[in-house]
Amino acid sequence: MNKLCLLSVSLLVLCACTSKKKDTIKIAKKPNVLFISIDDLNDWVEPLGGHPQAITPNLEEFAKRAMTFTNAHASAPLCNPSRVSIMTGLDPRNTGIVSNNAFYPFRKYLPDAETMIQHFKKEGYYTAGFGKVFHKEDSKTEPWDEYAWCSGRPKPTPYPGHGIKFITDSVYRYFDWGAVADSISKWGENQITQKVDEFFKKSHESPFFLAAGFRLPHLGWYTPPRFHKLYDSLDIQLPDFSHDDIKDVPAIILESVKKDRRAHDTIMGRGVWQDAVKSYLASVSYIDYELGRIMEKLKSSSYYENTIVIVWSDHGFHLGEKSTWRKNTLWEESTRVPLLIHAPEVTKLGAKTDHPVSLLDLYPTLVSLCGITPRDDLDGQNISELLSDPETKLDKDYVTTTNVLGTAIRNKNWRYIQYKDGSEELYDHRTDPLEHINLIGNSDYLDQLNKLRSYLSK
């Protein structure tokens, strides 16, 4: 055979092999994202053990196939700044967005920020949202491919349901609770689940980013009666409380929470503290029920094996600790949040990590997990390595939480707070997990204090 014939044969063989290889290669499909937020949910869930009587079987079941972050914290302890930070990937210390109404709508202050929704959409994802994802109307104005507000909330008659008008009039108008005998379909939470079900039943050619934002257990704590009945036979355990607990904290924070302290005194004086805690727990159990329904819808869909699922809360919540109710303090009860992540073929199933992480980390982490174009202007860090190895040491071993009063530093063992007037708090979580003893002024901890102080300039 001459050289020309040999060359021709070689080319034919090469072409045949190349064609066969092209036919058999499978291009990996980008994963979908199911992004589930739960408003005002503190650590009172079974995977975190924050309240021994919490009934959250679906969160507990999800934790078996997720990584549970036991030391996760909000970058801001209030709805608007927390959600703006999560969805833009920008630290409140850098944007200055540290409160609700003063920085709403957020686009007035960050007109050019590329939100998670925008970035995923630009990368070819179909974006859909149901419920509260951003704060209030900001959820409606982002450029989703599909969005529904789902805001139903039946109220008791007469109102307020708990009968303490002083609190609703002078402290917080939504400070109310109670079982409401109405059709479950009237709750926005149920409407969100229905929307998610409809979404999963559709055929989606593109990968999707689907956000489902539950408003409960945000006040008022109105739920269908069946979820209150879960706790009827229990002697509800109250949070740890001591009047002495706030004697060693700075005056600036005492002034900030004085309305909530009046609410606490009223709640204690009226003997309804257990009822309030029960209603919060009932709200948590109701959301757990809807979460379970969403997980079942996902499991029965064609998207189950290729969907990243993240469950998070925007900040914690006080129910009497340090004489305080609601949120927006820089203490553990207000900053610590549930965070559970399942990433197919990445997450070490059922594992937990106590590495400090921030909700600010979700944006860069999802970008990494989904293999889309990275961004170098995000303030959080990629924590995806923790999903497969909970003992991974990340570059940053602390997180920050900022509000209008100052900033808290939280690492594995310590909490340090510096307020805008220069006053401080320091707590050792190894011996004082409830933050009863402020160690500021104790010279034995000066080296640790100076180390934590140095993080504020980073």
Residue 227, token pair as written in the block: 């979820």
Catalytic residue among 79, 162, 315, 355: 79
Q: Cα(322)–Cα(333) distance, rounded to whole angstroms?
A: 10
| CB-CB contact of 300 with 261 (8 Å) | no
Diameter of the chain measured on Cα atoms: 104
Residue 409, token pair as written in the block: 């530093």
Could you give the 3-state DSSP secondary structure of residue 224?
A: coil
Q: Count each helix (H run) and each strand (E run) in the chain, helices first.
A: 16, 18
Closest C-alpha to 315, from 27, 73, 28, 57: 73
Could you give the 3-state DSSP secondary structure of residue 424?
A: strand
Q: Cα(319)–Cα(325) distance, rounded to whole angstroms?
A: 5
Q: Cα(119)–Cα(303) distance, rounded to whole angstroms?
A: 21
Residue 338, token pair as written in the block: 């549930």
Residue 117, token pair as written in the block: 């929704």
What angle (nearest 5°) sits at the alpha carbon of residue 264, between those of residues 260 and 270?
Answer: 140
Residue 177, token pair as written in the block: 């609770």
Closest C-alpha to 153, from 183, 198, 193: 183
Position 206: which residue type?
S
DSSP bridge pairs for 210: 34, 128
Residue 134, CA atoms < 13 Å, CB-side half-sphere: 25
Catalytic residue among 73, 135, 264, 355: 135
Q: Cα(326)–Cα(77) distance, rounded to whole angstroms?
A: 10
135 counts as catalytic: yes
Could you give the 3-state DSSP secondary structure of residue 192?
A: helix
Give the count of beta carbons closer than 10 Å to the beta carbon of residue 248.
Answer: 13
Catalytic residues: 79, 135
